[in-house]
A = this chain, B = another copy of it.
Amino acid sequence: MPDFSLDAFRAAADLVWPHIRRTPLLRGAALSEATGCDVWLKCETFQVTHSFKDRAAFGALLPRLAEARERGIATSSSGNFAQAAAYAGRKLGVAVTVVMMESARPNKVAATRAHGAEIAFCPPDFAPREAALDRLLAETGRLKVHPYDDEFTVRGNGTLGFELLEEAPDAAAVVIPVGGGGLIAGAAAVLKQGDFGGRIYGVQPELNPAFRSALAAGELIPQPFARSIADGLLATAPGATGFALARQYVDGALEASEAEIASATLQLFEDEKVLVEPSGAVAVAALIRDLARGYRGQKVVCVLSGANLDLAGLAEVAATWRRLPTPDALARS
Contacts and interface: CB of A to CB of B under 8 A. Distances in A.
Interface of A: 21, 24, 26-27, 29, 45-46, 48, 50, 107, 266, 269-270, 273-275, 307-311, 314, 318
Contacts of A46: 24, 26, 273
Q: Is the interface of A mostly helix, strand, loop or mixed?
A: mixed
Nearest to A25: B24
Contacts of A29: 48
A311 B266 contact: yes
24 contacts: A21-B27, A24-B24, A24-B26, A24-B46, A26-B46, A29-B48, A45-B273, A46-B273, A50-B273, A107-B270, A266-B311, A269-B275, A269-B311, A270-B310, A270-B311, A273-B275, A273-B307, A273-B308, A273-B309, A274-B275, A275-B275, A311-B314, A311-B318, A314-B314
A274 B50 CA distance: 10
Nearest to A43: B24
Contacts of A266: 311
A27, A275, A309 pick with most chain B CB within 10 angstroms: A275
A35 to B, nearest CB: 16
Shortest beta-carbon contacts, A-B, top 4: A273-B307, A24-B24, A29-B48, A50-B273
A274 B47 CA distance: 12
A24 B26 CA distance: 9
A274 B274 CA distance: 7
Contacts of A45: 273
Given A50-B273, A269-B275, A311-B314, 19 more contacts: A21-B27, A24-B24, A24-B26, A24-B46, A26-B46, A29-B48, A45-B273, A46-B273, A107-B270, A266-B311, A269-B311, A270-B310, A270-B311, A273-B275, A273-B308, A273-B309, A274-B275, A275-B275, A311-B318
